Structure 1
Amino acid sequence: MSTTPRAMSFETAAGQYATSRPSYPAELLDAIEEFTGTGLTGARVADVGAGTGIATALLRDRGAEVIAVEPGEAMARECRERVTGVPVVRGDGNALPLATASRDLITYAQAWQWTDPARSVPEALRVLRPGGALAIWWNTTDFDVPWIRDQHARMARHCGVTPKPAVRPSDSDAVRLAGLTGLRVARRHLRWTRTVPLDTHLANIGSRSTFLVLDESDRHVLLTRERERLAEAFPSGEVEESYVVDLLVAHRP
């Protein structure tokens, strides 16, 4: 997996990531079971780029036999502490430390973009048993919510990156961009919300890679401005965050 400053920036904020980042709705695991045609209970799953174990915990609680694969030392340590009973190994999605044909399902939550699909796709196919599946997903920006759309644009400008387009890629483009061309792929969008204290919301946006690579003074300026805006928009101090999970499930022949 990538070792660029952005990719490795999470190592400096592992605890913040664990406590502020959103999880995923139960409907996500339902969709994975639907697309794979089998339940997760007893399934041999590798959660790659597991981070602090947010998705790992959901898979474990659904009854899967999970192993977490995480390249970062601090993130792996958080995962071990927070997701008890699950083995955590240091590893790279481009060269998985797993035996051939040993897994029924490989998952990537918020992590596929840090791999090189030219390497990570063949690695996933190697580790999957025949008929197994690769599931990748992201909590993406809900551009239908004006304040979230506006915040995304402000953050992109402040961090010097190009804002994501408000129009989501077509199914065929999404498959191509993920490097899954040639495989049988199913896709689904799942909208969901969570309500959190303002401090948790600010910690969440402050745990993103584009933010973490900024100088401390730049980070302070952005968070101060966002606190002022959101305190006015949400006088109760509780912020409703809205997400659209973008799920792709590719089947191994």
Structure 2
Amino acid sequence: MTGSSRAHSFNSAADQYEASRPSYPPALFDFLDEFMGRPLSGVRVADVGAGTGIASALLRERGADVIAVEPGDAMAARFHRVLPGVPIVRGDGNALPLAGSSRDLITYAQSWQWTDTRRSVPEALRVLRADGALALWWNTTAFDVPWIHAQHERIAQHCGVPPRSAVRPDDSEAIRLAGLTGLRVARRHLRWQRTVPLDLHLANISSRSAFLVLGQAANRAFLAEERRRLREAFPDETVEETYVVDLLVAARP
């Protein structure tokens, strides 16, 4: 299964994605203020791979002037319904449909991995103003929470992908992997939690790309077993999810 197939698999579950995916903590946007040396209010932002608008909505709440970039038909349609006042253009990070030196901040929430950094880094620098910043972040697995670690390994086995290492790459390796070598980069790990109904937790799991490309019968069986396990751990069917946002913010040296 190609990365492109997985990237576009979200179009088959746009409504589910918007309803179940976790948001991001205020500390993330506080750090963007700090890195840029000014509040996000009035900052011209391009949110790339915007999906259904989870990050775009939060940026707009902070007063940013947001334009979204999204390649998927269904995701873009859902974005329009959720954020009708925010412009969205079709495209991806490898060839941004934006003018040069037109944005103060470019954000990639959960979407940088779908780009070719040999193309997306130069594209970001082309679109950014001279003092602009590029921000990449992901909600990552809190491996120190035993039930979350165990669930991660079961999901990886079900989807036929290697489980992620519980040891996070150090800053230099993370910068290299993101293709940001040579830029001025700051990294933060931001821990946060949300409490959700069991059904929403399972919907979030099944909205991931590795699930979406699998057969529905196999997924139903896996999710039924996961429901049984989680009812034992959370008898009231309320699940406390823990995330660690891995945030990289880059600018020209």
Q: TM-score, normalised by structure 1?
A: 0.98
Structure 2: gaps spanning 5 or more residues: none
Tell me the equivalent position of 1:165.
Answer: 165
Structure 1: gaps spanning 5 or more residues: none
**Structure 1, residues 162-219: CA drift from partner, whole Å, max 9, x if none?**
0000000000000000000000000000000000000000000000001111111111
Q: Indicate conservation of the 8 Å contact 1:128/1:252, yes or no.
A: no
Please tell me the root mean square deviation across aligned C-alpha atoms, in Å: 0.9
Q: How far is the alpha carbon of 1:129 from its aligned partner? A: 0.3
- Distance in 1, matches of 2:88 and 2:108, equals 15
Indicate the SS of the match to 1:181: coil
Q: How far is the alpha carbon of 1:84 from its aligned partner? A: 2.9
Tell me the equivalent position of 1:33.
Answer: 33
Tell me the equivalent position of 1:87.
Answer: 87
Q: How far is the alpha carbon of 1:252 from its aligned partner? A: 2.8
- Distance in 2, matches of 1:61 and 1:110, equals 19
- Distance in 1, matches of 2:245 and 2:124, equals 22
Tell me the equivalent position of 1:75.
Answer: 75
Q: How far is the alpha carbon of 1:3 from its aligned partner? A: 6.5
Tell me the equivalent position of 2:210.
Answer: 210
One-letter amino acid of the structure 1 residue matched with residue 63 of structure 2: G
Tell me the equivalent position of 1:119.
Answer: 119
One-letter amino acid of the structure 2 residue matched with residue 171 of structure 1: D
Tell me the equivalent position of 2:105.
Answer: 105
Tell me the equivalent position of 1:128.
Answer: 128
Indicate the SS of the match to 1:24: coil
**Structure 1, residues 32-79: CA drift from partner, whole Å, max 9, x if none?**
111121210000000000000000000001000000000001001111
Tell me the equivalent position of 1:151.
Answer: 151
- Distance in 1, matches of 2:193 and 2:120, equals 31
Indicate the SS of the match to 1:95: coil
Q: How far is the alpha carbon of 1:4 from its aligned partner? A: 1.8
- Distance in 2, matches of 1:199 and 1:209, equals 18
- Distance in 1, matches of 2:177 and 2:128, equals 21
Q: 1:250 to 1:141 in 2, by over 3 A?
A: same
One-letter amino acid of the structure 1 residue matched with residue 197 of structure 2: P
Tell me the equivalent position of 2:43.
Answer: 43
Q: TM-score, normalised by structure 2?
A: 0.98
- Distance in 1, matches of 2:145 and 2:35, equals 29
Residues 3-22 of structure 1: pairs in structure 2 closer than 5 A? 4-22=4-22
Q: How far is the alpha carbon of 1:221 from its aligned partner? A: 1.3
Indicate the SS of the match to 2:140: strand
One-letter amino acid of the structure 2 residue matched with residue 172 of structure 1: S
Tell me the equivalent position of 2:183.
Answer: 183
**Structure 1, residues 89-112: CA drift from partner, whole Å, max 9, x if none?**
111110000000000000000000
One-letter amino acid of the structure 2 residue matched with residue 4 of structure 1: S
Tell me the equivalent position of 2:220.
Answer: 220
- Distance in 1, matches of 2:211 and 2:147, equals 19
**Structure 1, residues 117-168: CA drift from partner, whole Å, max 9, x if none?**
0000000000000010000000000001000000000000111000000000
- Distance in 1, matches of 2:9 and 2:100, equals 31
Q: Indicate conservation of the 8 Å contact 1:198/1:237, yes or no.
A: yes
- Distance in 1, matches of 2:220 and 2:3, equals 25
Residues 230-249 of structure 1: pairs in structure 2 closer than 5 A? 230-249=230-249
Tell me the equivalent position of 1:252.
Answer: 252
Residues 49-68 of structure 1: pairs in structure 2 closer than 5 A? 49-68=49-68
Percentage of identical aligned residues: 70
The number of equivalent residue pairs is 252
Indicate the SS of the match to 1:4: helix
Structure 1 consecutive aligned stretches of length 4 or more whose deviation exceeds 2 Å? none
Tell me the equivalent position of 1:23.
Answer: 23
